[in-house]
Amino acid sequence: MTEAEILHWIKETALGAAVRDSTWLFWAGQSLHFVGLSMLLGGMLIVDLRLLGFLQSVPMRAALAFLPLAVAGFLINLATGIEFFTMDPFMYWPNPAFRMKMVLILLAGLNAIVFTVLEYRHALTLGSGQNVSTLGRVSAGLSLGLWLGVLLLGRLLPSFEGAKGLF
């Protein structure tokens, strides 16, 4: 199958047709995407700032308790993002902002895996005022930068629409 055939197949799925044919499904997805983004970024902001050594009065365990909220927000955004993509994959796939956004999401996921495997258990044992290792701080800084980049690129998607051939 060619790339165009795959994109056409995605566009013709039941979900893509439902979103295009509905007067409210896209807008409901937009609202949910914003809620998911707020949960994801709000949760990660608290976790990452604490890992970076800010919010010292917040116990590490309490800050890390926001991770499930961030994961739930990510899952909401994954579902609504798939909804948007199936609606018109020919609009999203060629867009350089979309592709860069997907790369940053992948890198943020890899960063989260590294933190979970190498640092999470140690961070749970820390008390108030104690800080994580350099790896934990680097991971938190990367997380903040990557998720803010995802947010920025999401906002830039419409701006890059006409610039597809430039990249």
Q: Which residue has the higher pLDDT, 64 or 165?
A: 64
Q: What is the pLDDT of residue 167?
A: 43
Q: How confident is the model at residue 56 (pLDDT cuts 50, 70, 90)?
A: confident
Q: With contact defined as beta carbons under 8 Å apart, do 41 and 108 qualify?
A: no
Cα–Cα distance between 150 and 100 in angstroms, integer?
A: 8
pLDDT tier, 161 (very low <50, low <70, confident <90, very high otherwise): low
Per domain, the residue ranges of the chain are: 3-166
pLDDT in tens, 11-55: 999 999 999 999 899 999 999 999 999 999 999 999 999 999 898
- Model confidence pTM above 0.75: yes
Residues 6+ apart with CB under 8 A from 83: 15, 19, 25, 26, 29
pLDDT band at 166 (very low <50, low <70, confident <90, very high): very low
The pLDDT value recorded for residue 131 is 82
CA distances from 122 to 29, 68, 113, 125 (A): 38, 18, 15, 5
